[in-house]
């Protein structure tokens, strides 16, 4: 863990997802299938057309192989989207592809539960591979959007 540049250090925020550093550490249980869940209930990005903020509740589930993601670097990666202009679909799939590139997980899924833009919520889902046999992946627990009542 000596090679981690962000954990335990004060770091500047990256101004774009491409510049953000996503760090990994060795999986402490490489021979065991288990599921890791990250939930980001206050994810933000910018609409590429209007410049207004977009908000999402992200849920990421993955089954590690040789590496796991270091959580502070994941938070900083999410933060790098705050001034990034992209559609909901692009943000959600971009995050999935970056995690796959960095981790090479056995399985990954992401649910992007976006709050309404123009009166319509947009939910984006991505999954890679198949969940290993015998492993439980709970429901992501985010209810369908019902407005204010």
Active site residues: 47, 54
Residues 59, 39: contact at Cβ < 8 Å? yes
Query: Residues for the chain: how many in total?
Result: 149
Q: DSSP code of 69? A: E
Contact 111, 142 (CB under 8 A): yes
Q: Is the distance from CB of 86 to CB of 22 less than 8 angstroms?
A: no
| C-alpha dist (Å) from residue 42 to 16, 63, 98 | 17, 23, 20
Of 116, 118, 121, 96, the residue nearest 107 (C-alpha): 96
């Amino acid at each position: 863990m000596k090679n981690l540049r962000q954990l335990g250090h004060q770091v500047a925020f990256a101004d774009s997802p491409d510049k953000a550093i996503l760090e990994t550490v060795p999986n402490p249980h490489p021979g065991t299938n288990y599921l890791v869940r990250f939930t980001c209930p206050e994810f933000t990005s910018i609409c590429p057309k209007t410049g207004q903020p977009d908000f999402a509740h992200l849920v990421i589930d993955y089954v590690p192989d040789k590496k796991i993601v270091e959580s502070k670097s994941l938070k900083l990666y999410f933060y790098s989207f705050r001034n990034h202009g992209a559609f909901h679909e692009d943000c959600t799939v971009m995050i999935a592809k970056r995690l796959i590139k960095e981790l090479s997980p056995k399985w990954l899924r992401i649910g992007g539960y976006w709050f309404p833009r123009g009166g319509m919520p947009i939910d984006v889902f991505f999954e890679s591979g198949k969940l290993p046999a015998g492993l439980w992946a709970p429901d992501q627990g985010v209810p369908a959007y019902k407005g204010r009542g």
